[in-house]
Amino acid sequence: MASTLADINSQIKKHDEQIAQLRRQAEELRNQERAGVIEEVRKKIAEYGLTASDLKLAMRGSRRSVVAAPTKAAAKYRSPTGETWSGGRGRKPRWVTEALAAGKSLSDFEIK
């Protein structure tokens, strides 16, 4: 069977259309089944008096267990070159350690 590229491309297009149609049908069926499942679940919830917390569902307006990103602390110290430091925990910036080693005080760099 000799086929040309145009024939093959035509067949591919035809099959793609069939696939798209089958996917639409599958989605419609899924939506119909979903509606039935939702109704069953609602009946069971009513029958057993279940609550959202029984089902471990988050309620609207409730606190979420999402941890907020830490906010950056405001700068308390500024170097002569414009670098800033909040004075928080952790290692001091190089410009602070060099200034302290040179005999300067942190109060010399306070932002007022």
The 10s digit of each residue's pLDDT in 56-102 is 887 666 565 566 677 778 889 999 898 998 988 889 999 999 999 99
Residues 41-64 have a mean pLDDT of: 80
State the number of CA atoms in the 13 A half-sphere of 93 facing the CB: 17
Residue bearing the bigger pLDDT, 10 or 89: 10
**pLDDT at 26 (0 to 100):** 96
CA 99 to chain centre: 42
Q: What are phi and psi of 76, to 5 degrees?
A: -110, -20
- Give the span between the Cα atoms of 32 and 25, in whole angstroms: 11
Per the CB < 8 A criterion, the answer to whether 86 and 73 are in contact is: yes
Segments making up each domain of the chain, as ranges: 1-64, 77-109
Q: At residue 41, what is the residue type?
A: V
Residue 41 confidence (pLDDT) above 60: yes
**pLDDT at 94 (0 to 100):** 92
- Give the span between the Cα atoms of 109 and 85, in whole angstroms: 10
Residue 25 confidence (pLDDT) above 90: yes
**pLDDT at 65 (0 to 100):** 59
Averaged pLDDT score across all residues of the chain: 87
